[in-house]
Structure 1
Amino acid sequence: MDLDLRDVHVLITGAAGGIGLATVTEFLGHSALVSAHYRSTKAALEESVVCAEAARESRLACVQADVTKEEDVMRMFQEAEEKIGKPVTVLVVNHAVYNSTPAPLHTMSLSQWNETLTTNLTGSFLVLRQFLARLAKVKEEQGIDSEWMRNVAVVLIGSTAGEFGEAGHADYAASKSALTHGLQLSLKNEIVQLHPRARVNTVAPGWVRTKMAEESMKDERIKYQALATTSLNKIAEPEEVARQVALLASNRVSGHTTGQVVMIHGGMEGEWHSFAITNKN
């Protein structure tokens, strides 16, 4: 399917992780121009044959930033647009931190809570704010009918934790719920003031086959909890999430879709917990 994303500049945060890398590859496959953000290492991007070829053709730029720092976020957008040669008009907010060690709320440290909310929520705010500010600048200089403005969209990466909650990970669940509900629903009404056809949507995965998930799934208790209410009885592949991101980013396919949360969870009906299971030695 032609998503009409050729030469659209897409910036993806957290692009060196499992879902992020799959999303980079997906957009490159649709002939988009991609800026791939990373915080500490870009090894996965460099090791990808697809990414290496795209970089040689100047269709991929790797940009480093700590998204919790205003100056880093501003520099990231500037570098991305200088390297690619045109404004970012599609933004995928994918970065996040998740503490794999369960911590009930009554024992969770303030430092853990603050780190998760600062990265997942405040970091997303800073990235979104800069995207909107630069969009406003392009509108002022080029007008909304510019070829650069033909496809304007934001796709947030949420989580089933933001829908159902997740015992032992209230910090992560709270950050994702705030991002994909209160923030998304506010933003989808604001962004149209900058571009009347700009859209904001969310893809919310459940368990996805990443390195961290595969390690967790070795624990039969975790695997049982993850699949207990999942109709398809499997976890998602990163590529399955990435395809949904590209579909929502495409005006051709999703031009009248905004403010929606698309769940990629195999039919999950909620987080299943049992005291006997979760506390078994």
Structure 2
Amino acid sequence: MCMFSLRVRISSSVMQKLTMVSAGASGGIGLEIVHLFLEQGAKVTAQYNSTSSSIQVLQANLTSESSVTQLFTSAIKTFGPVQVVVNNHGVWPKPDESLADMPLDRWKRTIDTNLTSTFLVVREYMKNLKKEGITEEQKDKAAFVFITSSAAKFGEAFHADYASSKSAFSGLMLSMKNEIVKIAPRGRVNIVSPGWIKTQKKAEDFKKDPTVVYPALATMPLKKVGLPYDIATQVVFLSSNKVSGHVTGEIVTVNGGMEGRLLNSRDDIDFERI
């Protein structure tokens, strides 16, 4: 029998040579991603408060071209060329809004915040990869990871703006993975797609009403909500050319095997009309 030992920690010598930008690091998933990259020895530029010398804290409006440019300029000035970007930036408008009644300004705001901002981050990253002075060794470590949502696959009633913006990431990712290799021949682009994740805010909601998560758990074999760490480990894995150097153009789904959304309860169905 052959026994394998899998360590979560990737070689520190590899990660210590990585410079990464985390776009959207203030939420539960974003914070966990930043923490794990720092533990692995990476140099991080993020919107996050920390006293670590390996992290730079910046505020940036990612819907602004100049702000995105400044984000990368500052990251490069402090830590050197950016090899890895994790795009976790986005907004989920809380009020339910049907397609019939959704105001145009909400639609535009969600698309702008989630999708247009991501395009600006992608564009700036690609521009900087093309600049002179970046070595082939640094380019070989190029990796971009999008964070999307199960809403991209299953949709989300009354949040079509959010689901549409996240679904569009698939087309952007597949286009980018074929373009990045023209600049960085070993560059890779992937997606991590979370399902329900127990962030601090979600944990508070679950405590108030544990049944709120039932529609998701009802179609989920594992019957549990994921943790931010479950997402962060996949992101770090996809960011390392040593352990996932032949993985690109993929969507890694982390949702406990969820097969969809439960739309109707038993009481919603008229069994006389089926």
TM-score, scaled relative to structure 2: 0.89
> Which position in structure 2 is the counterpart of 1:212?
201
SS of residue in 2 equivalent to 1:64 = coil
Distance (whole Å) between structure 2 residues aligned to residue 272 and residue 5 of structure 1: 41
Deviations 1:203-231 (A, max 9, x none): 00011111332244333553211211111
Could you tell me the percent identity over the aligned residues? 43
Residue 233 of structure 1 pairs with residue 227 of structure 2: no
Q: Does structure 1 conserve the Cα–Cα contact (< 8 Å) formed by 2:140 and 2:185?
A: no
Q: How does 1:1-281 map to 2 (within 5 A)?
A: 1-3=9-11, 4-36=14-46, 38=47, 45-46=48-49, 51-52=50-51, 54=52, 58-84=53-79, 86-137=80-131, 140-144=132-136, 147-179=137-169, 181-217=170-206, 218-274=208-264
Q: State the one-letter code of the partner of 2:261.
A: E
> Which position in structure 1 is the counterpart of 2:5?
none
Q: State the one-letter code of the partner of 2:45.
A: S
Which one has a bigger Cα radius of gyration? 2
Q: Point out where structure 1 has 5 or more consecutive residues left out of the alignment.
A: 39-44
Q: Does structure 2 conserve the Cα–Cα contact (< 8 Å) formed by 1:161 and 1:176?
A: yes
Q: State the one-letter code of the partner of 2:60.
A: A
Deviations 1:137-168 (A, max 9, x none): 0xx33442xx4334110000010000111111
Q: State the one-letter code of the partner of 2:61.
A: D
Deviations 1:168-204 (A, max 9, x none): 111110000001x111100100000001100000000
State the shift of 1:88 in Å: 0.7
SS of residue in 1 equivalent to 2:193 = strand
Distance (whole Å) between structure 1 residues aligned to residue 74 and residue 39 of structure 2: 23
Displaced runs of 4+ in structure 1, greater than 4 A? 275-278
Distance (whole Å) between structure 2 residues aligned to residue 95 and residue 9 of structure 1: 18
TM-score, scaled relative to structure 1: 0.87
Structural RMSD (CA) = 1.7
Q: Does structure 2 conserve the Cα–Cα contact (< 8 Å) formed by 1:157 and 1:202?
A: yes
Distance (whole Å) between structure 2 residues aligned to residue 124 and residue 205 of structure 1: 17
Q: 1:277–1:131: structure 2 CA closer, same or farther, 3 Å change rule?
A: farther
Deviations 1:3-25 (A, max 9, x none): 42222001001111111110000
Q: State the one-letter code of the partner of 1:127.
A: V
State the shift of 1:83 in Å: 2.2
Q: Does structure 1 conserve the Cα–Cα contact (< 8 Å) formed by 2:143 and 2:187?
A: yes
Distance (whole Å) between structure 1 residues aligned to residue 78 and residue 151 of structure 2: 36
Distance (whole Å) between structure 2 residues aligned to residue 192 and residue 250 of structure 1: 16
Distance (whole Å) between structure 2 residues aligned to residue 136 and residue 93 of structure 1: 20
State the shift of 1:111 in Å: 1.2
